[in-house]
Amino acid sequence: MALSRAKDATIFAYMGRVVGLRSLNNDGTDPRTRRILGRVRAIPVGFVRTYGDIDPRAPRLVGHILATTRERLPWHRVVRADGSVAMGKRQRELLLKEGVPMRGERVDLRRARLPSGLKIP
């Protein structure tokens, strides 16, 4: 799949045919990426969200964005669906410092997960 960028859009082409178009922001991010970044920023101190909470249709995309963004984010507040931490000791230390309750090596999601009814951007 070839990828070419226009000034204000990303055009996805496959074998010479346009198969998708996503508009970009001035900083080069598409709306979905901006939404994911906003949702991660909205997680308050002492709480966590799972990758699937951030984007239920694309939890792996959330991980990819967190791994590749240069923006300063509270990345450590995003955990796996079973409460385990993807980034090991450093992530666990940051969560403990914020007072996130743990059960062994995992986050206690019953107590630390941001309520699902809470609207985030």
Does 117 map to a domain? no
Does 62 map to a domain? yes
Residue 96: give its domain's CATH number: 1.10.10.10
Helix (H, G, I), strand (E, B) or coil at 113: strand
Domain span at residue 52? 30-112
Domain count, the chain: 1
- The 10s digit of each residue's pLDDT in 67-117 is 999 999 999 999 999 999 999 999 999 999 999 999 999 999 999 999 876
* Cα separation, 42 vs 26, whole angstroms: 22
- Report angle CA 94, 38, 47 to the nearest 5 degrees: 35
Does 47 map to a domain? yes
* Cα separation, 84 vs 104, whole angstroms: 10
- The 10s digit of each residue's pLDDT in 21-57 is 455 555 557 899 999 999 999 999 999 999 999 999 9
